[in-house]
Structure formats: C-alpha cells, structure tokens
Structure 1
C-alpha cells in the first residue's frame, strides 16, 4: 500500500516492542515518520524495534493501567519531541483476555479496563495539547466486538468501549481537523503469539472461516493503520475499519 509521505512527522505507538505494535512502528517509519516506541517490560524488544526502523525515533518505557501512567508517558514523550508537536497517536497496547465469566475476577476485570480503556482515553486527554491540528488518533480494537466469544467477554467489552470512544472523540475533535479511527484485527499471527497458533486444528478452523483464506499478518494491520495515519485518509473519521480478512462473515455454501 502506498501512502502519503510522513517525513517530518512524529508518531507514538504504544506496545511497540513486538507483534502488531512493532509492525505498525516499522510501517510508519518506512513512510518517513519518526516513531516513539513505547514498551512496558520488554525493553530489549523495544530496542530491537528501534533498530529495525533505523533508529528513527526514541523509546518510552512506562506501565499502563496504573496511577501516574499517563504522566510518565507524557514526560518521556515531551523529552523526545523537544518542542515539536505530535502528529500521530496509535493506541495499540492492550491486556489479554481474562477468561469466561465463570472464572473472571474483579481484579482481572479492573486491570483489563485500566489498560485497554482508561489508559488510551486519558492518554488522548493528556496529549491533546501537543497533538497538532490535523493530527491522527488510531486505536486498535478487535473482531471480538462483532461476534460472541464467551471466553473473551470482558476483553470484548473493553474493545467495544474503544470503538464508542473513537466515534465520540471523532465528533469532538473534528473542529481541530483531528481524525479519530479504530482498526479491528482478527486472527493475526506474529512473532509474539506464534505458539498460540500451534494449537491443533486452530489454523485450519480460522482459515476456513476467513473469506481470504489465511491468517492475518502484522503488516496486514499495519498497512491499514498507516493509511489512516496518512493525508490520504483525511476525510475518514469516527470509523472502525475491519482488518480481519473477512473473519466469520458467514457460512460458505457450495
């Protein structure tokens, strides 16, 4: 996918030490952007991401979903920006599903919402003063919001909240020409989750129920994010873009 040149632009990608976040950082950097690579525990992975983008950026190490998280990210981002505005915010970092309602706990539920909902919401709030007019906010949702998967109930609830946030903030920030969109990946295999797809029969089940007949790759999602971050997507806001390859669109006949 060819997108507009992003030279002289700065992007923050949360959770960029591996997986889809790393792919997004690489894609934005390939378009010319400088990338603030956020990580929590995996500093080595974040350093590898930075190396893979040719050092075009800087690291931000901070845990999300805890008191003071947004202030910590803002302080490190401000140092890296050195007075420049932020052009692109990608809310990619997320906590994993906590399980079905029978085994879920209040602590796990609260932690999930703290990372997946509270952190991106208040990060946007904190960064609005440094996000330039005409900037881009892109959050990662999930295909779990459009079909019933009882083992991901609370996780799907968090991503539903992200999609609602996307729509309402798009309306609120329109006067500043800031676009706000979400991208919804499906079954996406990366170097970070490869072991999960070793589950017997899983790949066959998913690919048979995906219109395009394969698992997603990190770059599939990253290309969509890069498009939404570009000038080419200037007239798209308030939407969640399905980047699943047609996962569970319906039964096949014949």
Structure 2
C-alpha cells in the first residue's frame, strides 16, 4: 500500500488510460478523484470499482478545454476534499484527459488545431496553475505525453506538437515547483489499445505495422501504463524529476 493516505486526481479517468491509472493508484493504496467530461455513468462505474478495492473515490465533472470553468471546479474540488477527507489538499495530479484528431498537416484546420490545443496544452497549463494551491507540498504531477513527440507518423503533426509543448512545460514546472518538493514528470505512451486509438488501429494492417516496429512485438494495453504512473507518484520514484519517461515497448528504435 505504497500510496496509503494519499489522494490522486486523474483527469479523463472515466475510461481508457485514465481509468487504468486511477485503478492502479487505488490498488496501491491511494484514494482517487475521478473526472469525466460527459460520461457520468462511466465515471460512477470507475468510482464503484475503486470502492470495491477498499479505497475511497468520488467522480467530478470537468471539460478541460473550458478554462473559464476551472475556478468553479477548484471550488468544488476543495469542498469535496473537505467533506470526504477533511483535508484542504490532494497529493497527485495526473493530467491525462485527451482527444484524438488526426489529419495530414496540409489539411489540418484551425478549428482542429484549437480543439487539440485547448485540451492538450492550454487546459493542462491553466488547470495545473489553478490547482497548485490545492496540491500538497511533496506531491506529484504527472503529465501525459506521447511517443509521437519522438517519432513521426503522418497525421499527428498538431497533436504531437501539443505534447512536445507538454514536455517542455513539465521541465519548467519541475524547476519552479522544486521549492515545494513537488516532482513533475511526463509519461509518453506508445500505441496503446484504448477507445482513443480504436479508429487508428482499425485501419487494415496498422496493428501489424505497429507490432512489427515495436521491440516487444505487440501493441500496448492500458495495464502497461498505469504502473509507470504509480511508480512516479511513489516514494521509490522520489528522485525522478523533470523527466520524459517513454513507455512504448520500444517503438521505432
């Protein structure tokens, strides 16, 4: 129970990678604040799973693309911490929420670019900023990046650029929050089989191509990522800071 007496907030944790991260943190002893954008039932289902593990959990709604809602979300979060844990702070912030928009560079529209920017960079930047007073000293921030920030697959120029920005932000946050002993790292998954990648992996031959170009010979699954995030939040990971940790099984080496 390495996360005993810890509280984690995982954005976009009603399904996919976020759900797995939330469950993995709970298995390791953390209580979890689950967030969802529209899928309240999915969020409540994750809460029920975490509760069945003997941990405490609540689900809160937030659209991480709408920065003007962050003030109200922070107020709700503070009230939730007080009423459920009698605390004013939480310990781990996992910025995981995301959307998938793929288009060739020459065909990417400004609306598509803005949608990706609002969720994957602007939202992360300002939500983290707003929640800083609620993160305990000695806590952890884990940002989700992507293997696509290292290798290039046509169609993801905008998405990967936002994640590149996240990796730079991660280093700056680590530097500026060091005085509070808050570690900040980025996890960069490779191709992971979730709802997020369902369309991409459905293209004929895509799964075989990705498997053939991965050293471990397969496409990843959510269980490949949750443990990495849990490690970065743990006492064992206390000296890992300002790092990009790729968890891709060795893609495109």
The TM-score range, normalised by the shorter chain, is over 0.9
1:123-149 CA-to-partner distances (Å, cap 9, x unmatched) read 111111111111000010001101122
| Residue among 155, 160, 165 paired with 1:156 | 160
Please name the residue that 2:61 is paired with.
61
- Report the Cα distance in structure 2 between the residues aligned to 1:196 and 1:144, rounded to whole angstroms: 14
| Residue among 223, 236, 242 paired with 1:232 | 236
Please name the residue that 2:100 is paired with.
96
Please name the residue that 1:31 is paired with.
28
Q: Match of 1:102, SS?
A: helix
- Report the Cα distance in structure 1 between the residues aligned to 2:140 and 2:2, rounded to whole angstroms: 14
TM-score between both structures, scaled by the size of structure 1: 0.92
Q: Match of 1:53, SS?
A: helix
In the TM superposition, what is the alpha-carbon distance from 1:181 to its structure 2 partner?
A: 0.1
In the TM superposition, what is the alpha-carbon distance from 1:190 to its structure 2 partner?
A: 2.8
Asked whether 1:137 is paired with 2:132, we answer no
In the TM superposition, what is the alpha-carbon distance from 1:67 to its structure 2 partner?
A: 4.0
Structure 1 unaligned residues grouped into runs of 5+: 250-254
| Runs of at least 4 residues off by over 6 Å | none
1:101-133 CA-to-partner distances (Å, cap 9, x unmatched) read 222111221121111101111111111111111
In the TM superposition, what is the alpha-carbon distance from 1:51 to its structure 2 partner?
A: 1.1
Please name the residue that 1:51 is paired with.
48
Aligned length: 246
Q: Match of 1:189, SS?
A: coil
- Report the Cα distance in structure 1 between the residues aligned to 2:199 and 2:63, rounded to whole angstroms: 25
- Report the Cα distance in structure 2 between the residues aligned to 1:29 and 1:161, rounded to whole angstroms: 29
TM-score between both structures, scaled by the size of structure 2: 0.93
Map residues 205-244 of structure 1 onto 2, 5 A cutoff.
Answer: 205-244=209-248
In the TM superposition, what is the alpha-carbon distance from 1:177 to its structure 2 partner?
A: 0.8
Give yes or no for contact 1:62–1:72 (8 Å, CA) kept in 2: no
- Report the Cα distance in structure 2 between the residues aligned to 1:221 and 1:102, rounded to whole angstroms: 32
Structure 2 unaligned residues grouped into runs of 5+: none
Give yes or no for contact 1:144–1:152 (8 Å, CA) kept in 2: yes
Q: Identify the range of structure 1 (143-152 vs 75-84) with the bigger mean alpha-carbon deviation.
A: 75-84
- Report the Cα distance in structure 2 between the residues aligned to 1:109 and 1:31, rounded to whole angstroms: 37
Asked whether 1:19 is paired with 2:16, we answer yes
Give yes or no for contact 2:10–2:18 (8 Å, CA) kept in 1: yes
Asked whether 1:81 is paired with 2:78, we answer no
CA RMSD after TM alignment: 1.5
Give yes or no for contact 2:67–2:127 (8 Å, CA) kept in 1: no
